[in-house]
């Protein structure tokens, strides 16, 4: 039997799946990387993929002049959600999932950059991915890097996480489709180049790029454990759905 296959959509150079990809590969999942920024065609349907991972990027979900493939990614996300295919949208990926499924995204009044605390909501305690966050007395923290945010989630979306500056940090659609505004896939090395390219916007927020990266570096082991575990939980969902599909055929 072949390994479960995950389609990974990457929106620009330097925004790959990071530790998320490493954990999924270690579980035996095959990752097919789609890079529309480099000319790859975005599939119309998820086909026989067992999971869909849509990553972040510096553009917003409505920036079709800058990234003309975004409507195609929305179409793909909409098809995945209709099938309840195991899906995870990260940062821009969540914003695209929101738009694809009928919600709204706006420019954030208070952009989040660097390490920020998250607050699990009551439904998270019953969620397949996020229940583990409710079992600790220590608030989870995650890397944030966004100037856009979901203002109106898709109808029926279950809110899972929030933060002081961003109401909708994570939600679930159906049983297997998740969006997260934060970046569980990145560590200090991943965001070092982001700090360089976003120097002006960070300084406008009163932030020093080197200090932001340094803060993440000091928490790296915690981030590896926390969000690497999330990656493995999502990989387990993908594999379990694949086994059910094989059993039904």
Name all domains of the chain by residue range, CATH numbers in brackets. 5-244 (3.40.50.880)
Pairing of β 170-173 and β 158-162: antiparallel
Look up the pTM and report it.
Answer: 0.95
pLDDT tens digit at each of 249 positions of the chain = 789 999 999 999 989 999 999 999 999 999 999 999 999 999 999 998 999 999 999 999 999 999 999 999 999 999 999 999 999 999 999 999 999 999 999 999 888 988 999 999 999 999 999 999 998 888 899 999 898 999 999 999 999 999 999 999 999 999 999 999 999 999 988 888 876 667 777 777 777 888 888 999 999 999 999 999 999 999 999 999 998 888 766
- Three-class SS state of 141: strand
Give the pLDDT of residue 247: 76
Q: Label residues 63-91 b or e (16+ Cβ within 10 Å = b).
A: eeeebebbbebbebbbbbbeeebbbbbbb
Give the pLDDT of residue 152: 98
Give the pLDDT of residue 43: 97
- Three-class SS state of 62: coil
Give the pLDDT of residue 249: 63
Give the pLDDT of residue 195: 65
* Cβ 147 vs Cβ 56: under 8 Å: no
Compute how many other C-beta atoms are within 10 angstroms of the C-beta atom of residue 33: 16
């Amino acid at each position: 039997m072949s390994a479960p296959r995950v389609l990974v959509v990457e929106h620009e150079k330097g925004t790959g799946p990071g530790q998320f990809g490493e954990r999924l590969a270690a579980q035996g999942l095959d990752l097919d990387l789609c890079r529309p920024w480099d000319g790859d065609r975005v599939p119309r349907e998820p086909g026989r993929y067992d999971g869909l991972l849509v990553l972040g990027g510096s553009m917003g979900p409505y920036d079709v002049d800058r990234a003309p493939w975004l409507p195609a990614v929305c179409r793909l996300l909409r098809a995945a959600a209709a099938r309840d295919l195991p899906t995870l949208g990260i940062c821009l990926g969540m914003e695209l999932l929101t738009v694809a499924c009928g919600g709204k995204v706006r420019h954030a009044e208070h952009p989040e950059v660097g390490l920020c605390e998250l607050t699990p909501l009551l439904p998270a305690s019953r969620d397949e991915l996020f229940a583990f966050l409710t079992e600790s007395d220590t608030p989870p923290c995650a890397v944030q890097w966004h100037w856009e945010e979901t203002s109106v989630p898709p109808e029926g979306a279950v809110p899972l996480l929030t933060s002081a500056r961003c109401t909708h940090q994570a939600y679930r659609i159906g049983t297997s489709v998740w969006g997260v505004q934060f970046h569980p896939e990145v560590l200090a090395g991943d965001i070092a180049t982001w700090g360089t390219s976003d120097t002006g916007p960070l300084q406008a927020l009163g932030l020093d790029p080197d200090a932001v990266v340094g803060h993440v570096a000091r928490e790296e082991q915690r981030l590896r454990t926390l969000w690497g575990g999330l990656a493995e939980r999502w990989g387990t969902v993908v594999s379990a759905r694949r086994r059910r599909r094989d059993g039904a055929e």
